[in-house]
A and B are shown apart, each in its own frame.
Chain A
Amino acid sequence: MNIAKRKFDVLVIGAGGGGLRSSLQLSQAEAKVAVVSKVFPTRSHTVAAQGGMNAALANVSPDNWHWHMFDTVKGSDYLGDQDAIEYMCRAASHLVYELEHQGVPFSRLENGKIYQRPFGGQSQNFGGEQAARTCAAADRTGHAILHSLYQQNIRAKTHFFDEFFAIDLIRADDGMILGALVLEIETGEPLIIEAKTTLLATGGVGQLFRTNTNARINTGDGLGMALRAGIPLEDMEFFQFHPTGIAGRGMLITEGARGEGGFLVNKDGERFMERYAPHAKDLASRDVVSRAISTEVREGRGCGENSDHVMLKLDHLGKEVLAKRLPGISSMVKTFLGIDPAEQSIPVFPTAHYTMGGIPTNKVGQVVVPVEQGEESVQGLYAVGECACVSVHGANRLGGNSLLDIVVFGRAAGNHIIDFLKDNRYHRPLEEQGLDMAMERLARWDKKGQGETVANIKYELQSIMEEYCGVFRTQDVLDKGLEKVLEIEQRMADVRLQDHSKTFNTARIEALELENLVDLAIATVASAAKRHESRGAHSRIDYPDRDDARWLKHSLYYKKENHIEYKPVRLKAMTVDTFPPKERVY
């Protein structure tokens, strides 16, 4: 085959916070690192994280990492792996200070310390008073982190392949990963990037659902690549719905709005969260608030002509507070809805937001798969960030824990790879048949003729996911959903592109993304249909309770025959006692 080839020590696929934190660690240790990103690195989705990053600095309320750990375990509805959670919460403060030194301008308190705001699910003293644990650089924390990491990477001589689209991993017969086939979007030319280790950091898959808060690039490509390489995906049934997306549009109204005193009301003007979470009220964990909103709407207390949303009230805070503490929200709402939140409430509804599931990894970022006795790592493959499942978020992620996750495990994976490279100084020869699948996938889109369009199939798929795999689920609905996404999979064979040009053929990229979305839709619905309990973000009307006796376990979905198996949750922490599963009340 006559395809151009490049060789690096490490190939990092994805230039969000997770990918860039890893590549920085590696480049600084003088490894030869390539970072591939389908969009210019600083346009990665991390830039959208405006709320902030959690660390128990105790600058605003008493706090320590152990309380943070408790909140994260409880927030995860006990599905999170407690060793990974301990690791993350312990590392948090250090990572915040490190980012500060790397140039992230965290907001300050009057005494000069880093400002921290209260976010949902944060408590003092293992479930007591509200804690304020989220460190923020005004309303641009993600942007500040991404830009600092990008600058540092440039300085450390990381090699960037901007606007290159990763198609598939290159896999040797024995399962070792040898790099990836990528496509230069501008020229349409494929390129083989060989590497001793490959790290997936491709972010989440918000585009599975019609109404979502995610950028359009969030199509879960890395998860699709893992599935096609025979690797299972963990806990895909757990998809977080952010309680306050603009109804029907998806734009997120940050939890910070409720942190600053905003609250939700139903059509009777009732502050209904007082009924669902008497203690934490509007700041209860995301899944709790999302379910409460859906319940209000289902029981006929929704607002608007179709009674299909509730209202977020901010008008009582006054123009000044809105302008000072929540800049951006007012004009965002004015732009997309034509109303002023200082005068009118905002229509909101739970909106697809965060992928808790993903590529199974251990706490140093190695991708792990089950073997007879426990698990083993996939040679040459790592994953970090939203595409990975460590699992620190379990069945429900707490706000502010994701930016933390990406930098903590990005750094840990970088360190582990550095050690791996010391013992593995040479590239394994590339087996060309490892490329066949990827080349076939590419060639398939050259077929000409009439057929279905990518845009239509994508819209249908997203609508099916919204209707059949949303906030409230039942067996019947999920079974129908699975049937429907499997039909979509069949119809993919009839999709044709009308544009066969080479340069900037975005239609071809969108087709490749759609293939990933279809695989992930099946993974999500199939996993959800099998889990007969309610836990965190996975809420079943027919199985309303959490069932620890049968379901305190992670699911693993394989593309081959849509097979699902399970593995135990790691309840044992690193050094502290296990937090045993308890009922979750806020």
Chain B
Amino acid sequence: MNVTQTDNEVSRLRWQCRRGMLELDALLGDFVEQHYMQLDEHEKEVFKEVLSFPDQLLFDYFFGNGKSIDKDVNNVIERIRYAVTPEA
């Protein structure tokens, strides 16, 4: 993938990370800027799938009792969460 393609991809994703809730903006928006490029190709695909979920479902995955039946999705969710959680 050349540089412009990557830029385009991140630009597109950046807008997909604009959500209706501050919590999701903070998780997804910051992740896409700082960590997305470090994902492997498969994880990148899963991340894009995660972005297609409705806000409330994402909120449940991050903060509620909801868990996806897809363990790859759960892994990506945990990676995103891990990236923002400060040490207690």
Residues of A within 8 A of B (CB): 38-39, 42-48, 140, 143, 146-147, 163, 185-186, 212-217, 249-252, 327-328, 331-332, 334-339, 499, 501, 503-506, 509
Contact = CB atoms under 8 A, between A and B. Distances in A.
Interface in B45-88: 54-56, 59, 62-65, 81, 84-88
Interface string B10-27: 011011001111111111
A163 B84 contact: no
A339 B88 contact: yes
Contact of A331 (B25, B56, B64): B64
Given A336-B85, A338-B86, 16 more contacts: A43-B19, A46-B20, A143-B55, A214-B22, A215-B22, A216-B22, A216-B29, A217-B18, A250-B22, A251-B26, A327-B65, A328-B64, A332-B23, A335-B27, A336-B26, A504-B12
A42 B54 contact: yes
B8 interface: yes
A42 B55 contact: yes
A332 B63 contact: yes
Top 6 closest A-B pairs, CB basis? A47-B20, A338-B88, A143-B56, A504-B11, A331-B63, A48-B21
Contacts of B22: 48, 212-216, 250-252
A477 to B, nearest CB: 27
Contact of B25 (A216, A337, A339, A506): A216
Given A331-B64, A504-B12, A147 B29 contact: no
A506 B85 contact: no
B11 A503 contact: yes
B65 A43 contact: no
A522 to B, nearest CB: 24
Q: How large is the interface on B (under 10, 10 to 19, 20 to 34, 35 or more residues)?
A: 20 to 34
Given A42-B54, A140-B56, A338-B85, A505 B20 contact: no
Contacts of A509: 15
Given A47-B55, A215-B25, A338 B20 contact: no
B57 to A, nearest CB: 9
Contacts of B23: 251, 332, 336
A50 B87 CA distance: 28
B62 A335 contact: yes
Nearest to A507: B11
19 contacts: A39-B15, A39-B20, A42-B54, A43-B20, A45-B20, A47-B20, A47-B21, A47-B55, A47-B56, A48-B55, A186-B12, A215-B22, A216-B22, A327-B64, A334-B85, A335-B62, A336-B85, A504-B15, A506-B15
Contacts of A337: 86, 88
Given A42-B54, A339-B88, A505 B11 contact: yes
A212 B23 CA distance: 11
Contact of B18 (A140, A215, A334, A505): A215
Contacts of A146: 20
Given A47-B56, A328-B63, A335-B81, A215 B19 contact: yes
Contacts of A328: 59, 63-64
Contacts of B19: 39, 43, 47, 215, 217
A365 B24 CA distance: 32
Among B14, B55, B65, B84, chain A packs the most CB atoms within 10 A around the CB of: B55
B11 to A, nearest CB: 4
Given A42-B54, A501-B8, A331 B62 contact: yes
A337 B23 CA distance: 12
A470 B22 CA distance: 20
Nearest to A44: B20
A470 B62 CA distance: 31
Contacts of A331: 62-64
A490 to B, nearest CB: 29
A36 to B, nearest CB: 15
A367 B12 CA distance: 35
B3 to A, nearest CB: 12
Contacts of A43: 18-20, 55
A216 B26 CA distance: 9
Nearest to B55: A47
Nearest to A504: B11
A216 B22 CA distance: 7
B38 to A, nearest CB: 20
Nearest to B9: A504
Contacts of B7: 501
A336 B62 CA distance: 11
A147 B57 CA distance: 12
Nearest to B11: A504
Nearest to B21: A48
Contacts of B64: 327-328, 331
A489 B84 CA distance: 33
A506 B29 contact: no
Contacts of B86: 336-338
